[in-house]
Amino acid sequence: MGTLLSTFELGDHLCAVVAADVQEVLMSQPCTPVPCSSPWVSGLINLRGQVVPTLDLRARMGVRSSDNDGAMSVVVRRGDEVWSLLVDRIGDVIEVDEAQFELPPDTLTGEWRQFIIGAYKLDAKLLLMLDVATLLDLSAELAVAG
Amino acid sequence: MSADELDAEIVQEFLIESHENLDQLDQDLVALEQSPGSRELLGSIFRTIHTIKGTSGFLAFNKLESITHVGENLLAKLRDGVLVMTPEIATALLRLVDQVRGLLASIEHTGSEGEVDVAPLADELRELLEAKLAEAAQPAAAKAVAKAAAVAEAAAVAELAAVAEAAAVAELAAVLEPEAADAPAPVEAAEPPAKAEPAEVDVRSAIGDATIRVDVNLLEQLVRLAGELVLARNQITQRAGNIGDEELSRAAHQLSLVTGELQEGVMRTRMQPVDHIWSKLPRVVRDLSTQLGRTVRLEMEGGDTELDRTLLEAVKDPLTHLVRNAIDHGIEPAAERTAAGKPGTGVLRLRAAHEGGQVLLEVIDDGRGLDGPKLAAKAVEKGLLPASRVETMSSQELQQLVFIPGFSTASKVTNVSGRGVGMDVVRTNVERIGGSIEVESEPGQRTCWRLRIPLTLAIVPALTVESCGQRFALPQISLLELVSLDTERAASGIETVGEAQVLRLRGSLLPLVRLEEALGLQRPAGDDGMAAVVAVLEGNGRRFGLVLDRVLDTEEIVVKPLPRALKDIGLYAGATILGDGAVSLILDVASLSRRQLQGEAHDDLQAANTSRQSGADDERQLLVVSVGAQRRVAVPLEVVTRLEQFPLADIKHVGRRDVVRYRGKILPVVRLADHLSELADSNAEFVPGVVYTSRGRSVALLVEDIVDIVAEGSTVYSDVEDYGLIGSALIQDKVTEMLDVRAAILAADPHYFDDQPEGEITAEQVDDYDADYDSVGAS
């Protein structure tokens, strides 16, 4: 039994989160900035009456984005909270095999190491599995940014 | 449904019903003390205890059954007029209620009655009953029969005839055999009420048909959905208006009406009368006044005023605290009252009313009131406020001192209201739900605590405002007024004292907070930000002005909680969705004021320095003061740290110099009139002073009056010089002399610049000014 993953592009990278955590994907939404918040939070969106915070995943991961306007959102549930993650392009939902999985290489350092759980070796490309919990934990960054 | 589930459900129902009944019982018992003969009250109390007894027997809660049984016996005698209500019996019965409540709580939490021993209280009640019966029964055996018969007749009229008759006969039998109160009583007493049950059930079910119990969570969900509907309605109405299709507009209008009514209806399901929390207070008042030896009459007015239940829960504790406080500190002992020419019985009034979209709750006592000067002395003693500040405060302002954290009016801690919980906590709790509190007191006469609570939390009237192109919502409850500054006034109307911006509003200075600075907003290109609106707000008991670009609209907004990561910022009270579907942040006025006005007294050199540099391109501002009878003297505003009022009496001679106590320090002062060889004009109680501070050293220049703040650019200099001056200028068509600030400071404190290294900003600042002026003067 494989795992279903929801994939998306961040710069040149193909990334994924567990599809079960994904509520929906959205085209770019009008977003209200929140002054004095973490630099990674690009603001709040109105998702059918629910106020949902948006995390700019590209900024968070330090990926320079090719075009800013075509951004799309992956809406994920974390416990009782919902977050919208800003990515470059939404990909397919794919099924992966655990045999394809490998832990991140030891040479991977810095921020990327804490954000990535591991990689699936797909035929065409490496699929990076993101650690959503760490990505959404802004407390440390808040202290630095503040 | 399994038998267990059914049982659990029945127990749950029993608990809910009993809790309601107990609240009623507390009220009834206290009321009964006031009117000991009321058959109606006695009947109601008897029925309540009886119902609990009956159900607990059925559910096999034996302790509950046995204790209520003894209580029922006692009540039966009271109801039948064999015994008369006395404070002793009332206390015993109230303790019974407490014990029942304890047992019920235990059942609720653990499912069993717990380890509580009910025997002592049961014995006590039984003994009390016997003692009282012995007192009453002996001489009145015959009378009792007659009385009971009369009572039964009266009851027969009042209640359903057939049932009452049966009950009356049975009760008569019980009264005729006084010993029945002992061992055989369980059987005896259980019988007649069992017959009376159908009548009660009839009355109850009539009410039961009209009301149902609904899960609170379901109600919350309905409220939330209604809120969403309102938002959708707002969006549709707005778009329909834009499209201009008549039929669509009509449909939108209809939708709008229905939504409005639906919302109102749903909101009403959350409303509960204030009585709901007041009902516990008679008991509190009774217990407390007995304990403290006060005689207090509690009056309640407007108990049917309705309030959102979550808000009601939130004001319960503050309200109880105020009531306790009023009895403990407000209302004096009877002897003291009579000595003061007041009636011995103190009156505590609770008042609730709707007022301007808010609920007004007042707790008024006719006790000793708040003693302003005493409060002031205490605030100074505790180091909460400087003496100089306190002395300029009005008595109304002094009374608000009780809300300062760390302030407690009781000189000794009592176990009643001095438990470290002060009025500041009350205020915090009230402000947390968007309310406000103030106190108004006439010393020796009365104290009135006034709470203003919003009707509901979920939907609040708000102002949508804009700053730097971004919209924010500002809850109207904290808004006092709006002051519009047009382009011209925006430049001249806002003045700076030290580095703080102020607005002169009807003669007093209002500290200003610029929203763009508080939030670090970026002004978009092409927006000069010249036109401005000042929203005068009150938060944390302080008044301040929030400078905005413009006010867009007033809107009823639905408050949505912020995601956790954004709550910590502390500047926003929540978010909302505006009519056009965009998300907008709701500003938290209290925390804005807390954050931005903390630095009221920035003695910080750094700050002064930065503000000076950033303002380098601006015109220099001059503070114009009057000295002596008619001389006008100007001081550059950048050397002014604060303006203060010093009490004349506090200014003392030390050697050849004048000093004044200021913020716990000795502050050297110089009277500019003396310094400039002029006669001081007034002998007012307070002398205005210009305080100049740097590196923790301050001096004050005392003047006759603060006249104005003007821009230096408009001045025309002449080089007339005199001692202590560096020239003069024509300001607003009046000759104004430019003060030699350095000389004036040295006159106050000859060593002022001694320990400051060469090139120190302050000295330089003053020198700069001199140099600047010299160059102008020379040209």
pLDDT band at residue A54 using 50, 70 and 90 as cut-offs? very high
For B219, the enclosing helix (H) or strand (E) is: helix B216-243
Residue B393 has pLDDT above 60, yes or no: yes
B462-472, pLDDT tens digit by residue?
899 999 889 99
Q: Which of B519, B564, B582 sits opposite A30 (nearest CB)?
A: B582
User: Looking at residues B559-579, what average pLDDT do you find?
Assistant: 82
pLDDT at B169: 46
Q: CB B585 to CB A53 under 8 A?
A: no
CA dihedral B255, B233, B580, B588 (to 10 degrees): 140
Measured between CA atoms, how close is A3 to chain B, in angstroms? 29
Residue B377 has pLDDT above 70, yes or no: yes
In B, which residues are within 8 Å of A85 by CB distance?
A: none
Measured between CA atoms, how close is B228 to chain A, in angstroms? 6
pLDDT band at residue B737 using 50, 70 and 90 as cut-offs? confident
User: Looking at residues B659-678, what average pLDDT do you find?
Assistant: 77
Domain A3-138 is found in CATH 3.40.309.10: no
A71-124, pLDDT tens digit by residue?
789 999 887 789 999 998 899 999 988 888 888 877 777 777 888 888 898 888
pLDDT at B399: 82
Q: CB A81 to CB B562 under 8 A?
A: no
Interface test with B, best of A41, A44, A142 (most B CBs within 10 A): A44
B704-721, pLDDT tens digit by residue?
877 777 766 545 556 555
Residue among B626, B662, B631 nearest B644 (CA): B662
In B, which residues are within 8 Å of A37 by CB distance?
A: 565-566, 569
Query: B425 by DSSP, 3-state: which?
Result: helix
Residue B590 has pLDDT above 70, yes or no: yes
For residue A31, the one-letter residue type is C
Measured between CA atoms, how close is B269 to chain A, in angstroms? 22
Domains and CATH numbers, chain B: 3-210 (1.20.120.160), 216-270 (1.10.287), 273-454 (3.30.565.10), 471-601 (2.40.50.180), 605-778 (2.40.50.180)
More confident position, B165 or B59: B59
Pick the most confident of B69-78, B169-178, B322-331, B729-738.
B322-331
pLDDT band at residue A139 using 50, 70 and 90 as cut-offs? low
The Cα-based distances of A119 to A111, A115, B641 in angstroms read 16, 12, 62
Chain A residues near any Cβ of chain B (below 8 Å)? 30-38, 41, 43-46, 49-53, 81, 83, 136, 138-139, 142
In B, which residues are within 8 Å of A140 by CB distance?
A: none
Query: Are B388 and B646 in contact, with CB atoms under 8 Å apart?
Result: yes
Nearest CA in chain B to A136: B565
pLDDT at B139: 56
Q: CB B565 to CB A136 under 8 A?
A: yes
Residue B364 has pLDDT above 90, yes or no: yes
Question: Which region, left, alpha or beta, applies to residue B374 given φ > 0 means left and ψ of -120 to 50 means alpha?
Answer: alpha
Q: Which of A31, A33, A36 sits opposite B569 (nearest CB)?
A: A36
**In angstroms, rounded to a whole number, what is the distance separating the alpha carbons of residues B724 and B739?**
6
To the nearest whole percent, how much of chain B has pLDDT over 90? Answer: 5
pLDDT band at residue B5 using 50, 70 and 90 as cut-offs? low
pLDDT band at residue A18 using 50, 70 and 90 as cut-offs? very high
Nearest CA in chain A to B231: A49
Token readout for B585 is 């942040």
Nearest CA in chain A to B568: A37
pTM over 0.90: no
More confident position, B695 or B747: B747
Residue B84 CB contacts under 8 Å (≥ 6 apart), including other chains: B36, B37, B78, B136
ipTM over 0.95? The verdict is: no
Q: CB A36 to CB B520 under 8 A?
A: yes
How many cross-chain Cβ pairs, A to B, lie less than 8 Å apart?
63
Nearest CA in chain B to A141: B565
Measured between CA atoms, how close is A46 to chain B, in angstroms? 6
Q: CB B584 to CB A32 under 8 A?
A: yes
B158-205, pLDDT tens digit by residue?
444 444 444 444 444 444 444 434 433 333 333 344 333 444 444 444
Out of B332-346, B390-404, B572-586, B746-760, least confident range: B746-760
Out of B91-95, B305-309, B499-503, B757-761, least confident range: B757-761
Interface test with B, best of A40, A45, A46 (most B CBs within 10 A): A46
Number of helices (H) and strands (E) in chain B: give both, helices first. 26, 30
Q: How far apart are the first and last CA of chain B?
A: 102
